[in-house]
A and B are shown apart, each in its own frame.
Chain A
Amino acid sequence: MSRAYRHNLNGSTLEAGALQMEIKDITLRFGGVRALDGVSFNVAQGDIHAIIGPNGAGKTSLLNCISGLYRPQVGEIVFHGGDRGDRNLVRTKPGAIARLGIARTFQNIELFRHMTVLENLMLGRHTHMSHHLLASFLYYGPAQRQEIRERELVEEVIDLLEIQAVRNKEVGALAYGFQKRVELGRALCMQPSLLLLDEPMAGMNAEEKEDMARFVLDVNDLAGVTTVLIEHDMGVIMDISDRVSVLDFGRCIADGAPAEVGSDQAVRDAYLGQEANA
């Protein structure tokens, strides 16, 4: 990767290593089920921060709390926006959280199926564009200039993720692996300050996983985008993450560097042991 990119894909103004997000004592209940139970950990700017844990541990629920789709009953999530100030994400609407530059992908791909790859990625630019009804009706003029300007950044993301060949295809018709890539691309187009990836490599074969891991690393290396990554494959986690938090039955049972966490006995019991048995 030596290509020079003209657009900075990282929306955060924090120094690498600075404290970016504090998850404080988050508890989320669904009726009697405690999906999250007093979860606390910090995310540092520029890290690839992995969240692991067995099925039903509450990983997706935690991501949903961060992006405002779920509202935890207890706790707060403080997001440090640098120049844009600090913000508690709990009780903030998903749209407002998106405008803070928090982008995400979903465990079960949630793309706009009837739009092309290009249109999906352009939608990632939505919060960076202005949308006036009359200008849109007219097209020629400001709306066209804006489309062209934003298209340039989108094309860089297309190059980065190597999806040039399918840019004009409807995403509903694409292979699963490509859809996962497009979803990552759509989030990247937001020039995120924080990127949340929910199992971007799930259901892929080894080769596809390797590609995706490389893209996640590229995004992190080249742009310095903080990435919170949910993943089941321990090999991948050990290879690419800077920090790992482990959830089990809604509780955060370990949090630290990959090597530390990997040798933690509680983690082995909860997670690795379970996998070994499976």
Chain B
Amino acid sequence: MATATGVYNTTYRRDFALRHTKAEYFRLALLAAFVVVLPFSLSEYWLSYVNLILLAAIAAVGLNILTGYTGLVSLATAGFLGVGAYTTANLTTRAHWPMPLSVIAATLLAAGIGALFGLPALRLKGLYLAISTFAAQVILSNRFRGWAYLTQGHGNIAAGYPTIGTHHMKSDFEWYWLLLVVTGLVVFAGVNLFRTGLGRAFIAIRDQDIAAEVMGVRVGAYKVLAFSIACGLAGLSGALQAHYRTIVTWENYEIGTSFTFVAMIIVGGLGSVAGAVYGAAFMTWVPAYITKIGQSLQQGSFSFLIRKLPAVQLTLFGLVLVVFLLFEPRGLARLWQRAKEYFRIWPFRY
């Protein structure tokens, strides 16, 4: 119940609800309308970027569960995108598995390997753990490049479009709906996780692991579980990406991409599921926009800038990251929260 003096709930069920006020339901309705209208109002070019955002968001939510909520840094996200991609490509192209099944298998395999690479978390913390995930990334990158079996010696491997009957799902418009559902489910699951005891245990491990242990939380097992979830979601993202791009090459799964994902959750907001989505949008869309500006400049007298574009992009990213770390360590999610609060009590200042 929302009154002038605040929000009151008369049952625990209501108190646990994600939304309490009419304004919150209204915003949800707006969001629903937005995602339905979006694909009709964007060109194929920009819609493809929306799809890339949705794909990145899946892995970013996973990484935020691991890093933002559980407090364990991973530099191996790209490696697990690769595990998902190579697995589904091989299962569909060589073993002729149907795509949905092979994507699920790829997710589970990535989760399993992720648990394995998460084992050092039983012993290591902080920087040392980060280095051990870096090692995992190096091992995986190395396998993608060097293990000829993965690509039957071609250096890359095809992954087909999904089919419905005899129809091939190729257009960005169709992919948008598929990805909207999958990413929506991942976000839903991520948000739910932190409404339950399991999610609270993850946060407890991040905040005070000794107290968590003394409260009976199985700290070691949950750390490994968090790795498994993050790597599984990276695998899911990578597998879908493989079918979206239709080709799997090792260049996409290098350490640089892992860093991009870390940047994503920092910019979006550590410890926020929505933040992971904002971060994915920011880190995908901004470079695309810069590229676009670059192309239009090419026609003008600024062509010298074009050659510098990659450097400009990197510098800008570095700057953005530093600015967020310094001024809003809780990212875009926190900014949005503050904006909502501001308007809720507007025009009063307190």
A contact set with B: CB distance below 8 Å: 67-69, 94-95, 97-99, 103-104, 106, 110-115, 119, 122-127, 129, 131-133, 135-139, 143-144, 146-148, 150-152, 186, 190
Contact = CB atoms under 8 A, between A and B. Distances in A.
B13 A190 contact: no
Interface string B284-298: 000000000000000
Contacts of B198: 131-133, 136
Interface in B193-229: 193, 195-201, 203-204, 206-208, 210-219, 225, 229
A123 B210 contact: no
Given A133-B198, A136-B198, A148-B12, A69 B210 contact: yes
Contacts of B199: 136
Interface of B: 12-13, 15-16, 189, 192-193, 195-201, 203-204, 206-208, 210-219, 225, 229, 271
Given A137-B192, A147-B196, A111 B216 contact: no
Contact of B215 (A69, A115, A147, A190): A190
B215 A126 contact: yes
Nearest to B204: A112
A95 B192 contact: no
A189 to B, nearest CB: 9
A87 B199 CA distance: 31
Nearest to A149: B12
A127 B216 CA distance: 6
A71 to B, nearest CB: 14
Nearest to B225: A133
Contacts of A144: 13, 16
Given A148-B12, A148-B16, A95 B217 contact: yes
B197 A146 contact: yes
A127 B207 contact: no
Given A123-B201, A139-B192, A152-B12, A114 B217 contact: no
A136 B192 contact: yes
A127 B210 contact: no
A110 B216 contact: no
A252 to B, nearest CB: 24
Contacts of A68: 214
A115 B216 contact: no
A100 B193 CA distance: 27
A115 B201 contact: no
B1 to A, nearest CB: 16
B210 A137 contact: no
Contacts of B200: 115, 119, 122-123, 126
B211 A112 contact: yes
Contacts of A143: 192, 195-196
Given A95-B216, A115-B207, A131 B192 contact: no
B53 to A, nearest CB: 22
A112 B12 CA distance: 22
B207 A114 contact: yes
A98 B210 contact: no
Contact of B204 (A123, A136, A152): A123
Contacts of A132: 198
Shortest Cβ-Cβ A-B pairs, 5 listed: A98-B216, A139-B192, A127-B216, A137-B189, A112-B207
B215 A186 contact: yes
A78 to B, nearest CB: 20
A119 B201 CA distance: 10
A144 B216 CA distance: 21
B211 A148 contact: no
Contacts of B211: 106, 110-112
A63 to B, nearest CB: 10
Given A123-B200, A133-B198, A139-B192, 18 more contacts: A68-B214, A95-B213, A97-B214, A103-B215, A114-B206, A115-B207, A123-B217, A126-B217, A136-B192, A136-B199, A137-B193, A138-B192, A143-B195, A147-B195, A147-B197, A148-B12, A148-B16, A150-B197
Given A139-B195, A144-B16, A98 B203 contact: no
A139 B216 contact: no
Contacts of B197: 122-123, 125-126, 129, 131, 136, 146-147, 150
Contact of B213 (A94, A147, A152): A94
A139 B199 CA distance: 11
B208 A111 contact: yes
Contacts of B206: 114
17 contacts: A68-B214, A98-B216, A103-B215, A106-B211, A111-B211, A112-B207, A113-B208, A114-B206, A123-B201, A123-B217, A127-B216, A129-B197, A131-B198, A133-B198, A135-B196, A138-B192, A147-B197
A125 B208 CA distance: 17
A103 B211 CA distance: 10
B218 A95 contact: yes
A114 B271 contact: yes
